[in-house]
Amino acid sequence: MIYYKTEAEIELMRESALLVSKTLAHIAGLLKPGITTLSLDKVIGEFIRDHKAEPTFLNYKGYPFNSCISVNDVVVHGFPDKNELREGDIISVDIGVYKNGFHGDHAYTFAIGEPAEDVMKLICVTKESLYKGIEKAVAGNRIGDIANAIQEHTEKKHGYGVVRELVGHGLGRSLHEDPQVPNYGRKGTGPVLREGLVLAIEPMINMGKKDVYTEEDGWTVRTVDHKPSVHFEHDVCVRKGKADVLSDYSIIEAAEQTNPNLNAKY
């Protein structure tokens, strides 16, 4: 069942998406070597509640934290823990909030210090692929057009591995609504996009092979070859002519650029 949102609902969803962006921007200002991801998760929970919202992920299907924090070869759903971030780490921070009856759900990958050049390239290309997917999120296109644009840019053009087991999704009163939004597929296939459909588009791209596995904790997804993986996610409303991006990277990027502990050169 696909739900199309009214203009009033879209504005509420924009508010939820923007609260995630603001939380990510706040975290961007705190990142540095030596900080633990568990301490970041605590700040994330407090920030969300201070803004009269609930952290979506906490207790979702038993998920035990406010956020997913995935470092280096962790693809997604990493548990915040007591390990300190180190110079050269890359870290995806994925946050969900529930406010006014709607969820926001998006993610950003940060580079601590100076990761290797090929790692910075992976971050850059994955972010580019998200925007190539978003360009296709217009009424009349199909899900496969988004999927194919992401796969072309990452797998075909740069030889990276596109994760198959995890996909983007519809977003609204539930965290996961129809349709699924894979990051691989054929143009002109899948459900047709209509105005008012809100999607979480989220490429998960591996530097090496596409294969991943889930750890014993039932959540943490890692690359089989232990090469790094990058994850970016935006909340996007399908419109005629041009997609409407509800989340906002510009405030995250501004915080990233003023934090001397981050490499924002991509």
Residues at the binding site for substrate are 77, 176
Tell me how far, at minimum, the Cβ of 118 lies from Co ion, in Å: 26
| Residue type present at position 1 | M
Tell me how far, at minimum, the Cβ of 215 lies from Co ion, in Å: 19
**Is the bond into 179 cis (omega within 30 degrees of 0)?**
yes
44 binds Co ion (CB under 5 A): no
Q: Which two tokens stand for residue 15?
A: 């508010």
Tell me how far, at minimum, the Cβ of 103 lies from Co ion, in Å: 9
| Cβ-based nearer residue to Co ion, 91 or 200 | 200
Q: Residues 244, 236, 182, 240: is their CA dihedral positive or negative? A: negative
- Tell me which residues in 168-207 interact with Co ion (CB under 5 A): 200
Query: For 168, what's the count of Cα atoms within 13 Å in the CB-facing half-sphere?
Result: 34
- Tell me which residues in 197-256 interact with Co ion (CB under 5 A): 200
Task: Tell me the sheet residues that pair with 71.
Answer: 91
| Cβ-based nearer residue to Co ion, 142 or 234 | 234
Q: Which residues contact 59 (CB under 8 A, 6 or more apart)?
A: none
Tell me how far, at minimum, the Cβ of 93 lies from Co ion, in Å: 13
Tell me how far, at minimum, the Cβ of 45 lies from Co ion, in Å: 18
9, 73, 89, 105: which one contacts Co ion (CB under 5 A)?
Answer: 105
- C-beta of residue 2 within 8 angstroms of C-beta of residue 197: yes
Rounded distance, CA 58 to CA 20, Å? 14
| Cβ-based nearer residue to Co ion, 155 or 202 | 202
| Cβ-based nearer residue to Co ion, 53 or 262 | 53
Q: How many residues bind Co ion (CB under 5 A)?
A: 2
Q: Which two tokens stand for residue 116?
A: 């290797």
Sites of contact with Co ion (CB under 5 A) = 105, 200
